[in-house]
Amino acid sequence: MNKILKALVTSCTLIGLVACGSGNTNIPEAHYSNDGLQLDEPLTEYSQVTVTSLKEGADLPIGVAVPAGGASNSIFVSEERKNIVLQHFSQVSAENIMKMDALHPSQGNFNFDAADELVNFAANNGLSVHGHVLVWHSQTAGWMESFSGSKVEWIDMMENHVTQIATHFSGRLHSWDVVNEAFLENGEYRDDGSIWYQNIGAEFIERAFTTARSADANAELYYNDYNLSSSEPKIDAVVAMVKDFQARNIPIDGVGFQMHIGADSPSADTIKAHFQKVVDLGIKVKITELDIRMNATNNDDALTPDIAERQKERYYEVVSAYLETVPAAQRGGITIWGITDADSWIINLYDQPDWPLLFNSELEAKPALQGVADAIADNQ
Ligand code: 9MR
């Protein structure tokens, strides 16, 4: 049985192929808004995981979001996390360190050290990098929030941000999330809370794409959002935007479906139908931030073998839906949003136990990992 423990567990049994460190001193307390650490007991009663490498034999990028920079669970601090990345993934996204506030902390001053460390690590180890993110209403820099100027000055400020950053990484990134989360569930533009929409209007989106392409001719450019696999008005708004871009030669190469989803919803049929809408546009479809919550109702306090099995099936279903619907040439890849359950933003947000990722807090491979690997093997 798994539990919420306040003390660090100091031993673990190995199952799957990932060594688990004794003590797990790298598990970040900061990721828990409750007063304890969620630690899982060894997966001894669970179905076997025989995956040697998720990326092996996959003909599409298999990515993971990684903590880096000053994070206590950074892959540059936690050797175990770094090894998981190297063993199983072919692409990385920075979970936080390439956001606006991190790269551009004060106007005109850029801080590329942490991101360069990650991009160099990726290059040295044969991993590609998906940049996240050039323009978003969240995790903006404080100076941007208090910026005051005319519309023209706002455009200038945003375009300069995009130009500086995309130029700095030009030639080193596979792709960028250029704009993140510009639409609401009802398909309208996000107004409240978006300094970009409020000060520039909807044209901030196309301006960000055009500017990014001028600065980096080769990186694939994505529009990225959540609930695109569940909300019809939202995916339809994105599709309309892409059609409009295509008609006016505004560059866009793909749509990123974040896919922070639950165990039961959306259905595989809905997911496929929504992927298909983007496939029909002739551009790429990327799952950019996949994680699967198993405890939305908070009825469970442990990842039981039964829940782990359901999660394995759900990962299998989602990855299969992607591979069945998106032709090989339009696959931007699949990225898992975090390495271990202990790292997941879900835990912090909901303040209740959950196990959304492919490795548990003991850094053991979960049946979910097998589900992804099986789906790739069966559907590619
Ligand atoms: O996983 C990220 C978490 O560590 C940050 O605290 C959070 C801040 O907004 O952002 C999380 O990542 C988000 C991503 O950048 C955009 N899509 C939603 C992700 C989960 O919130």
- Given its phi and psi angles, is residue 20 left (phi above 0), alpha (psi -120 to 50 degrees) or beta? beta
Cβ(74) to ligand 1 under 6 A? no
Active site residues: 289
pLDDT in tens, 329-338: 999 999 999 9
User: Sorting pLDDT into bands at 50, 70 and 90, what band is 184?
Assistant: very high
pLDDT of residue 359: 98
The predicted model gives 152-180 an average pLDDT of: 99
- pTM for this structure? 0.90
CATH assignment at residue 339: 3.20.20.80
Q: Is the pLDDT of residue 24 over 70?
A: no
Contact assessment for residue 300 and residue 307, using Cβ atoms and an 8 Å cutoff: yes
CA distance 353 to 267: 24
pLDDT of residue 57: 87
Cβ(33) to ligand 1 under 6 A? no
pLDDT of residue 40: 63
Q: How many whole angstroms from 50 Cα to the centroid of ligand 1?
A: 30
User: Sorting pLDDT into bands at 50, 70 and 90, what band is 1?
Assistant: very low
Split into its structural domains, the chain has a count of: 1
The predicted model gives 245-272 an average pLDDT of: 98
Q: How many whole angstroms from 11 Cα to the centroid of ligand 1?
A: 31
Q: Whose CA is nearest to atom 20 of ligand 1?
A: 345
* Domain around 368: 5-378
Cβ(350) to ligand 1 under 6 A? no
Q: Is the pLDDT of residue 188 over 70?
A: yes
- Kindly write down the DSSP assignment for every residue of 26-60, as one continuous string: TS-GGG-SSSSEEE----TTSPP---S-SSTT-SS
Q: Is the pLDDT of residue 26 over 50?
A: no
Q: Is the pLDDT of residue 9 over 90?
A: no
User: For residue 10, what are the CA distances in angstroms to 40, 361, 376?
Assistant: 12, 12, 35
Best of 100, 179, 337, 346 for a ligand 1 pocket test (most atoms within 8 Å of beta carbon): 337
